[in-house]
Structure 1
Amino acid sequence: MRQFDVNLGTPGRLMLAAGLIGFGFVGWYFDHALDGLEPFELQPAAVWLNSGVLLLGGIGLIWGRTAPKVALVLWILLTLLFFVHTPGLVAEPDNATRWVSALEVLGLLAAGMLIAAPDRADCRLVGRLVVGVMLIVFGAVHWMYVEAIAGMIPGWMPGRALWPWVTGAANIAAGLALVSGVQARTAAALCGVMFASWIVLVHLPRLLASPGDRSEWVACALAFALTGVVWTVHGALSQSGEDLHPSAR
């Protein structure tokens, strides 16, 4: 029995677009590189250029006709950005923060690839695997930094110390589903719902509480973008007609 067959490709593309537009505005407003995603100091001209590309890219993704071409440009830009992360990964291979940032860029890259070439089976496979690995690492980091994650949970929610373990397990389970291809679309749909809920429960309240904090703006935009990433994977798998179970293909 198939579940969550509704195509989340368009909502995914729009959430990704919202995240990219947010990145562009944050870069311009604060005149600073995006914390984590851009692991280097930039000259003002470079900040404005990068932010402009992200902003225009997000706007271009809104319209279905322009989305594939815009996604191709973003694919190239994000590939270059990922390679900028590699020296840090080589220098500090045990630094979880560096891996999370690099995998976030890879996840955005994968979504751009799927929007640019949704009909290619190899792109769907690579996108599914990349996002799956990203989610597994996210889950592991939740378990490694339980106190830090618990500190982000609103005080009114019961069981704050338990939520990092629950959300970590959910990330890992969704990642394994995507990597294995078993219940991959269902996992992507539900993971997107989880990410979207964090926007409302965690990121927007923190942003409203600290509107001058650049890192909160980046985190909120990233939450939109990552919701778009997993829903874009779901949409690509749905459009291809691939079943939830490898044995049924």
Structure 2
Amino acid sequence: MRDIVGLPLPGRLMLAAGLIGFGVISLYFNHLIDGLQPFEAPPWGIRLNAAGLLLAGAGLTWARMAQPAALALWGVLTLLMFAHVPGLIATPGDAVRWVSALQVLGLLSAAMLIAAPGRDDLTRAARMAVGLMLIVFGVVHWLYVGAIAGMIPEWMPGRALWPWVTGAANIAAGLALVTGLMARLASALVGAMFASWIFLVHLPRLLAAPGDRSEWIACALAFALTGVVWTVHRALSRSGEDLQPSVR
């Protein structure tokens, strides 16, 4: 178990790949990132958005520029979280809105950890925020079993069962992060699950529908969310917080 937990997982680079993907998608389709950015923008705003995503992603790939890039991303994502609030208040029962808002919260948490590494208070906040995100992901998997099963490749056996399995995995990992129990192992494994979806689910769907903007976004998001949980894993590896029997 220690060998699995101690792997040097490339969280920052996976997050960077996701952000660069968002930038390319925004630029190519001349559109904001559906779900994550719940507003409209003029053409110049869309191009500015794409440039910002590309620069942030490129900055994260370079160790010397990672902290400034993450700091800028932290500020932008904080504003983006506020942009989600009106929609959440207007339709509090809309699971899709909550998932989108929590995805932004996850990205914000990772940016925060990269911008200010080694701070136990930020590590604890990010751990709990990402844990909450995973729990909601798992519940949504169980609420929308049919939709999730429809994303599973036909060649995989037990398509109707996988939403329950992946939902349980998300919830278990989320609880581990929220409580701090086995959090490093949970963040490593749930990140591996997200990464596997890139190859098992998103790339095949993308190849089948290369003109579908939503499939491109889903694939880039899989990279970004893998980066999020692996960034949390790295922060926990430094702090050793998950070695505690309960939340401090």
* TM-score above 0.5: yes
Report the 3-state secondary structure (helix = DSSP H, G, I; strand = E; otherwise coil) of the residue aligned with 2:57: helix
Q: Per-residue deviation at 1:243? A: 4.3
In the other structure, the counterpart of 1:6 is 6
Distance in 2 (CA, whole Å) between partners of 1:149 and 1:101 is: 16
2:151 matches 1:152: yes
Flag the 1:8–1:127 CA change in 2: closer, same or farther, 3 A: farther
In the other structure, the counterpart of 1:114 is 113
In the other structure, the counterpart of 2:82 is 83
Q: Is the 8 A contact 1:150 1:160 kept in 2?
A: yes
Flag the 1:160–1:248 CA change in 2: closer, same or farther, 3 A: closer
Aligned residues, how many? 248
> TM-score, normalized by length of structure 1?
0.96
Per-residue CA deviation, residues 174-229 of structure 1 (Å, 9 max, x unaligned), is 00000000000000000000000000000000001100000000110000000000
Q: 1:164-183 maps to which residues of 2 (within 5 A)?
A: 164-183=163-182
Q: Per-residue deviation at 1:39? A: 1.1
Q: Is the 8 A contact 2:67 2:115 kept in 1?
A: yes
In the other structure, the counterpart of 1:195 is 194
Identity of aligned residues (%): 70
2:227 matches 1:233: no
Distance in 2 (CA, whole Å) between partners of 1:181 and 1:86 is: 28
Flag the 1:101–1:243 CA change in 2: closer, same or farther, 3 A: closer
Report the 3-state secondary structure (helix = DSSP H, G, I; strand = E; otherwise coil) of the residue aligned with 1:246: coil
Distance in 1 (CA, whole Å) between partners of 2:147 and 2:115 is: 36
Q: Per-residue deviation at 1:3? A: 5.0
Q: Per-residue deviation at 1:239? A: 1.7
> TM-score, normalized by length of structure 2?
0.97
Q: Per-residue deviation at 1:247? A: 6.1
Distance in 1 (CA, whole Å) between partners of 2:112 and 2:7 is: 18
2:127 matches 1:128: yes
Distance in 2 (CA, whole Å) between partners of 1:228 and 1:193 is: 10
Distance in 2 (CA, whole Å) between partners of 1:248 and 1:53 is: 36
Distance in 2 (CA, whole Å) between partners of 1:170 and 1:96 is: 19
Tell me the amino acid that sits aligned with residue 189 of structure 1: A
Per-residue CA deviation, residues 106-155 of structure 1 (Å, 9 max, x unaligned), is 00000000001111111000000000000000000000000000000000
Q: Is the 8 A contact 1:142 1:167 kept in 2?
A: yes
Distance in 2 (CA, whole Å) between partners of 1:49 and 1:246 is: 46
Q: Is the 8 A contact 1:186 1:244 kept in 2?
A: no
Report the 3-state secondary structure (helix = DSSP H, G, I; strand = E; otherwise coil) of the residue aligned with 1:159: coil
Tell me the amino acid that sits aligned with residue 4 of structure 2: F
Distance in 1 (CA, whole Å) between partners of 2:167 and 2:240 is: 30
Tell me the amino acid that sits aligned with residue 95 of structure 2: A
Tell me the amino acid that sits aligned with residue 175 of structure 1: G
What residue ranges of structure 2 are gaps of 5+ in the alignment?
none
Report the 3-state secondary structure (helix = DSSP H, G, I; strand = E; otherwise coil) of the residue aligned with 2:241: coil
